[in-house]
């Protein structure tokens, strides 16, 4: 295990209907010990893998899911190949009950093949499950996903939405880093990734400090949580998180939501566009654009457009759905010219 002294702040005594804005808008991670301990799925998993498996199958309706399969040698670390030109696993579309069959088949195999189903929408794959196993997030409309597999090690990555991760079966270890540790995590390609998000190239089980010396500085800012069935973890937007599923059978349910209006696009698109249009400009021009971004984006306030008549501010006024749709149309025309 990595030498991490900082534990994620722990809160006990909450139930699925107790979460308010103080927790759900936190800018620091929070371990909510026992939050979903009363879920029927959690109680079944605490009893045995067989009971958890049988409980899931009650809701199965011939759904197919995206799965990742790897040889035993990858030890559950879904990652790149040696030269980052491909991956060490292969993705498939498969029936969810077939995945459960494989997990049962290899429950005593040593070492087992790596089997992983990630980010599967619960309401389509197991309709009705949430009626008995859910968390009240108030007016938020989250994307609720299911993650099932045996032992896995998911490389450190960030997500744009806030995240409530609920452990339903098995034990998990989350290692978190604040956003400002980006430079110390040695992140891989932005546009070619194992599962959609850029990841740290550091192997947390065997970190190579000669190849990645600044990772030692990242560890000084890391926070860790050891979780058991029934525990939940609130991960704020943009926090890096490395996730380990530690048992032969693991189930996680997570809730993703954004604190911004639905019409806002992902900032990742702006980053990719800036790489294409700004990064390789001559230094003086790039510096000028840095000033423009500060003025109009990062340091924008009520004075930015105060000198323009209110009805003429257009994109500099507070945005709404109609204006963002018009901007998107304009951008598409410019990019396709």
- Across the range 172-200, mean pLDDT stands at 97
pLDDT at position 57: 97
Q: In the chain, what is the straight-line distance between the N-terminal and C-terminal CA atoms, in Å?
A: 53
In the prediction, which pLDDT does 336 show?
Answer: 85
Amino acid 136: pLDDT: 95
Please give the pLDDT value at position 334.
87
pLDDT beyond 80 at 289: yes
**pLDDT higher than threshold 90 for residue 242:** yes
Name the residue among 35, 3, 5, 1 with its Cα closest to residue 18. 35
Average pLDDT over residues 59-65: 94
Q: Summarize the confidence of residues 236-260 as an average pLDDT.
A: 97
Take residue 63 and report the two structure tokens written for it.
């759904």
User: Where do the CATH 2.60.120.650 domains begin and end in the chain?
Assistant: 10-257
Mean pLDDT (whole number) for 320-329: 92
Tell me how far apart the alpha carbons of residues 106 and 49 are, in angstroms, rounded to a whole number.
Answer: 12
Question: Looking at residue 185, what DSSP letter applies?
Answer: S
> The tokens of 195 are what?
């599962």
Q: From CA 79, how far away is CA 66, in angstroms rounded?
A: 16
- The residue-averaged pLDDT of 32-40 equals 98
**Structural tokens at position 179:** 């956003």
pLDDT at position 209: 98
At residue 44, φ and ψ (nearest 5 deg) are -65, -40
pLDDT in tens, 70-122: 999 999 999 999 999 999 999 999 999 999 999 999 999 999 999 999 999 99
169 vs 231: CA distance, rounded Å: 10
Binned at pLDDT 50, 70 and 90, residue 1 comes out as confident
How far apart are alpha carbons 337 and 332 in whole angstroms? 9
Of the chain, the percentage scoring pLDDT greater than 70 comes to 100
Would you place residue 179 in the very low, low, confident or very high pLDDT band (cuts 50, 70, 90)? very high
Helix (H) or strand (E) holding 104: helix 96-105
Average pLDDT for 246-253 = 97
The burial class, CB within 10 Å (0-12 / 13-18 / 19+), for 25 is: exposed
Positive or negative, the CA dihedral 10, 11, 12, 17 is negative
For the cut 90, the answer to whether the pLDDT of residue 205 exceeds it is yes
Q: If you write DSSP's letter for every residue of 82-102 in order, what string do you get?
A: TTSSSBSSEEEEEEHHHHHHH
pLDDT tens-digit map of 125-134: 999 999 999 9
Strand partners, 157: 199, 241
- Per-residue model confidence (pLDDT) at position 337: 74
Please state which CATH number belongs to domain 10-257.
2.60.120.650
pLDDT value for 262 = 86
What integer is the mean pLDDT of 325-329?
A: 91
Considering only CA atoms, which of 257, 268, 65 is closest in space to residue 165? Answer: 257
């Amino acid at each position: 295990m990595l030498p991490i002294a900082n534990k994620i702040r722990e809160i006990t005594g909450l139930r699925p209907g107790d979460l308010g804005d103080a927790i759900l808008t936190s800018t620091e991670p929070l371990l909510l010990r026992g939050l979903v301990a009363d879920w029927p799925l959690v109680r079944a998993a605490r009893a045995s893998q067989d009971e958890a498996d049988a409980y899931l199958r009650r809701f199965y309706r011939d759904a197919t899911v995206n799965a990742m399969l790897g040889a035993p040698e990858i030890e559950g670390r879904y990652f790149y190949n040696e030269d980052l030109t491909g991956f060490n696993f292969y993705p498939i579309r498969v029936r969810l009950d077939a995945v459960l069959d494989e997990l049962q088949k290899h429950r005593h195999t040593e070492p087992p093949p790596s089997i992983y189903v990630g980010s599967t929408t619960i309401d389509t794959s197991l309709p009705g499950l949430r009626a008995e196993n859910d968390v009240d997030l108030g007016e938020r409309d989250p994307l609720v996903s299911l993650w099932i597999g045996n032992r896995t090690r998911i490389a450190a990555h960030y997500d744009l939405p806030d995240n409530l991760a609920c452990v339903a079966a098995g034990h998990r270890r989350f290692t978190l880093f604040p956003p400002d540790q980006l430079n110390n995590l040695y992140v891989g390609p932005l546009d070619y990734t194992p599962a959609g998000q850029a990841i740290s190239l550091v192997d947390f089980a065997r970190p190579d400090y000669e190849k990645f010396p600044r990772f030692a500085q990242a560890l000084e800012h890391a926070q860790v949580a050891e979780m058991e069935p029934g525990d939940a973890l609130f991960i704020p937007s943009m926090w890096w998180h490395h996730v380990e599923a530690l048992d032969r059978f693991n189930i996680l349910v997570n809730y993703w939501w954004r604190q911004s209006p639905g019409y806002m696009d992902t900032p990742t698109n702006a980053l990719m566009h800036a790489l294409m249009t700004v990064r390789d400009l001559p230094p003086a021009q790039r510096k000028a654009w840095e000033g423009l971004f500060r003025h109009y984006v990062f340091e924008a306030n009520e004075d930015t457009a105060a000198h323009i008549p209110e009805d003429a501010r257009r994109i500099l006024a507070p945005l709404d759905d109609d204006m963002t749709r018009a901007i998107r149309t304009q951008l598409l025309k410019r990019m396709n010219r």
